[in-house]
């Protein structure tokens, strides 16, 4: 972390406010160092981070990280994980194991809310406050998201997803709908390469619909996709286009926090430097950018955001609005502790 000593505390924390970051091991030292040096908006937990002492040790770790963040910067932490169910879950048994979206869909909104509520109660006890789920992408045949989606019908997807969200909200766990503006028609996986969705604007309408309906019903977090959508005028990586965030905020009326997907995914990391990617994503209108594993990448993105703050690159109205949204959110989060 010595590379960051030259940055003032104010600059380091201002840059950190836009970072949601992961770490490699299952101990406390690395995430604690990240909190103390960068004051990130939050930390993302993965299966690799599960400590040998199980739930008791995890609860202790998350509590210490939360208290340290408050002591260092006065801000609470977003403590996040992907708890979609099915193939995408981060906690091992005997923790509650939610089934995947197709199985949940067959059980209907009542059971989905009840099951989500049970899972949320457990996550709350452990110390988490953000679930990077549910998926709002449509389940189109042959699409790589098919096994993680609630179905093909936009209205049904919105209803089922919001039952899931409401179950988590029952216990104060925020949820993040993903992957805007929809990966249902993508054939390639952005974890590996940049996909292209070759649908015109009209054909993209059903893919936007679940997001629009969820936003109307109070969804507070949205994650965007690393994908190209020529029909929407997004011919390169959508994450870096202000047009993507304009569709979300101006067309759909979203007033919550907008997250990028993990910048370490192949769709981004194979095509540009991560520091430049982080600045481009924030400049485009993202409030938070995810960098989920490698310390070198985390340091690179923090350095780039710090430099962009110093040189004035991040001083336009879009950035100022993002800062206000984040500061307002974290004040409410702090009051809720």
- pLDDT tens string 58-75: 999 999 999 999 999 999
Query: Residue 4 — pLDDT band, cuts 50, 70, 90?
Result: very low
Which residues contact residue 177 at a Cβ distance below 8 angstroms, ignoring those fewer than 6 apart?
134, 135, 136, 161, 165, 210, 211, 214, 219, 221, 222, 223
Task: Give the Cα-Cα-Cα angle 288, 292, 298 (nearest 5 degrees).
Answer: 80
CA dihedral 17, 216, 260, 11 (to 10 degrees): -20
Query: Residue 7 — pLDDT band, cuts 50, 70, 90?
Result: low
3-state secondary structure of 334: helix
pTM for the predicted model, two decimal places: 0.96
- pLDDT tens string 262-284: 999 999 999 999 999 999 999 99
For 187-205, what is the mean pLDDT?
Answer: 96
User: pLDDT at residue 309 above 60?
Assistant: yes
Asked whether 254 and 264 are in contact (CB, 8 A), the reply is no
pLDDT attached to residue 13: 86
Comparing C-alpha atoms, which of 137, 124, 8 is closest to residue 59?
A: 124
Query: Residue 3 — pLDDT band, cuts 50, 70, 90?
Result: very low
Mean pLDDT (the chain) is 94
Residues belonging to the active site: 191, 261
Q: How many CB atoms lie within 10 A of CB 10?
A: 9
User: pLDDT at residue 47 above 80?
Assistant: yes
User: pLDDT at residue 49 above 70?
Assistant: yes
User: pLDDT at residue 2 above 70?
Assistant: no
- pLDDT tens string 84-108: 999 999 999 999 999 999 999 999 9
pLDDT attached to residue 111: 97
pLDDT attached to residue 154: 97
- pLDDT tens string 141-181: 888 899 999 999 999 999 999 999 999 999 999 999 999 99
- pLDDT tens string 107-137: 999 999 999 999 999 999 999 999 999 999 9
3-state secondary structure of 199: coil
Comparing C-alpha atoms, which of 55, 74, 65 is closest to residue 31?
A: 65
Domains of the chain (ranges, CATH numbers):
22-336 (3.20.20.300)
Exposed/middle/buried for residue 335 (C-beta within 10 Å: 0-12, 13-18, 19+):
exposed
């Amino acid at each position: 972390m010595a590379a960051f000593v030259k940055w003032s505390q104010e600059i380091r924390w201002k840059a950190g406010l836009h970072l949601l970051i992961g770490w490699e091991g299952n101990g406390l030292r690395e995430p604690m160092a990240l909190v103390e040096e960068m004051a990130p908006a939050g930390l993302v937990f993965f299966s690799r981070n599960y400590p040998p002492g199980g739930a008791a040790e995890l609860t202790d770790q998350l509590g210490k990280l939360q208290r340290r963040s408050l002591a260092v910067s006065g801000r609470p932490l977003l403590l996040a994980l992907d708890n979609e169910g099915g193939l995408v879950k981060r906690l091992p048994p005997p923790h509650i194991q939610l089934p995947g979206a197709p199985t949940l869909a067959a059980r209907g909104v009542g059971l989905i809310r009840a099951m989500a509520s049970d899972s949320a109660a457990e996550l709350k006890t452990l110390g988490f406050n953000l679930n990077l789920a549910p998926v709002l992408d449509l389940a189109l045949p042959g699409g790589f998201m098919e096994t993680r989606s609630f179905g093909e019908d936009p209205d049904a997807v919105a209803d089922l997803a919001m039952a899931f969200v409401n179950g988590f909200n029952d216990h104060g766990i925020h949820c993040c709908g993903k992957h805007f503006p929809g990966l249902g028609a993508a054939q390639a996986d952005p974890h590996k390469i940049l996909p292209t969705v070759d649908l015109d604007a009209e054909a993209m309408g059903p893919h936007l619909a679940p997001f629009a309906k969820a936003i109307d019903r109070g969804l507070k977090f949205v994650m965007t996709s690393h994908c190209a959508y020529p029909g929407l005028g997004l011919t390169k990586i959508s994450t870096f286009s202000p047009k993507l965030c304009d569709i979300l905020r101006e067309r759909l009326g979203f007033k919550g926090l907008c997250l990028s997907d993990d910048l370490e995914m192949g769709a981004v990391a194979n095509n540009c430097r991560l520091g430049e990617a982080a600045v481009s994503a924030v400049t485009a209108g993202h409030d938070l950018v995810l960098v989920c594993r490698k310390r070198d990448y985390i340091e690179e993105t923090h350095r780039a955001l710090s430099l962009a703050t110093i040189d004035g690159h991040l001083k336009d109205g879009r950035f100022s609005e993002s800062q206000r949204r984040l500061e307002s959110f974290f004040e409410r989060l702090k009051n809720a502790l």
